[in-house]
Amino acid sequence: MRTTLCFTVALGMALCAGVGVSKPADTTDFSGQVARFGKVSAKECVVYLEGAKRAEPLKRAVVDQRSKVFIPHVSVITRGTTVQFPNNDSVFHNVFAYYDAKKFDLGNYPRGASRSVTFDKTGVVAILCNIHAEMSAYILVVDTPYYTVTDSKGRFSIHNVPPGEYTLHAWHESGFALQKRIAVKMGQTVASLTLTKE
């Protein structure tokens, strides 16, 4: 009896897990590759589709500080998200950035401490440490659930996109970018993107 119950619960959980990973029937993937720009690799480009659907703030977002490096170097968050900036290094860091044309400064703080900022407007946030000039990171604040960051070869895939009209944006820290209207169609949509200097 106990064995049967356990099996039923396990089967139920497996089915639920299966539902969780399956693709909604009326959505598609928007995939492709960003071409290199000169000698610069198209890795860590942000690609996103702006349409009618707005995004909820992310429940959790972290830009870590380890070995004098911000991790990740490039991240995307949705509008209204609060980002934690923990210091997991043996040295002090001072995180500051220009955001919405204003500078914010989290001050000096030691290992084990964390400070946070809520980003309620869209745009690019360039993050620096005024103790270590080599440290930098970028956060793109977007107002859409359809975004991703390219891999080391410039490849990307945005999952579960409803077909329709969108403004496609691509951005790279070197100053290359792309913005154009596109139609996302049902079935695998593959795009080859060429960015130009802003």
Residue ranges in contact with Cu ion by CB under 5 A: 93, 129, 131-132, 135
Residue 84: CB minimum distance to Cu ion, A = 16
Number of helices followed by number of strands (H, E) in the chain: 1, 17
Residue 179: CB minimum distance to Cu ion, A = 33
Nearer to Cu ion, 85 or 156 (CB): 85
Angle at 25 between CA 23 and CA 26, to 5 degrees: 115
Residue number with the smallest Cβ distance to Cu ion: 129
Nearer to Cu ion, 129 or 141 (CB): 129
Nearer to Cu ion, 129 or 142 (CB): 129
Nearer to Cu ion, 79 or 93 (CB): 93
Residue 126: CB minimum distance to Cu ion, A = 15
CA distance 21 to 17: 7
Residue 68: CB minimum distance to Cu ion, A = 6
> CA separation (Å) from 116 to 89, 107, 130?
17, 11, 17
CA torsion 127-129-82-179 (nearest 10°) is: 10
